[in-house]
Chain A
Amino acid sequence: MKTKSAAFWTSALAALALSLPAQAPQILTLAEPQKVTVPRQGEARVALKLSMRPGYHANSDQPSEDYLIPLRLTWDPKAPLEPVEILYPKAKFEKFEFTEKPISVVDGEFEITTRFRRASGAAPGPAFLSGKLRYQACNDKMCFPPKTIDVKVPLLLQ
Chain B
Amino acid sequence: MHKLLRLTGAALLAACLLLAGCASTVSRGEPASGSNRDTPSRKPAPDFELKDMNGKAIRLSDYRGQVVLLNFWATWCGPCKIEIPWFVEFQRAYKDRGFTVIGVSVDEDGWEAVRPFLASRQVNYPVVVSTVEVEQKYGGVEALPVSFLIDREGRVANTHVGLVTKKTYEDEIRRLLD
Contacts and interface: CB of A to CB of B under 8 A. Distances in A.
A20 to B, nearest CB: 4
A21 B19 CA distance: 11
B80 to A, nearest CB: 7
A5 B2 contact: yes
Contacts of A143: 74, 76-80, 143-144
Contacts of B76: 67-69, 136, 143, 146
Contact of A2 (B5, B17, B162): B5
Interface residues on B, range: 20 to 34
Interface stretch (B8-16, B48-56, B88-96, B148-156): B8-16
Nearest to B144: A143
B107 to A, nearest CB: 9
Interface string A13-27: 100110011101000
Interface residues of A, number: 31
Contacts of A5: 2, 5-6, 9
A98 B108 contact: no
A147 B17 CA distance: 26
B13 A145 contact: no
Interface in B1-60: 1-2, 5-6, 8-9, 12-13, 16-17, 20, 23-24
Given A2-B5, A5-B6, A141 B24 contact: no
Interface of A: 1-2, 5-6, 8-9, 12-13, 16-17, 20-22, 24, 65, 67-69, 96-99, 103, 136, 138, 141-146
Given A9-B9, A136-B76, 11 more contacts: A2-B1, A5-B9, A12-B9, A16-B17, A20-B20, A97-B79, A98-B81, A142-B143, A143-B78, A143-B144, A145-B142
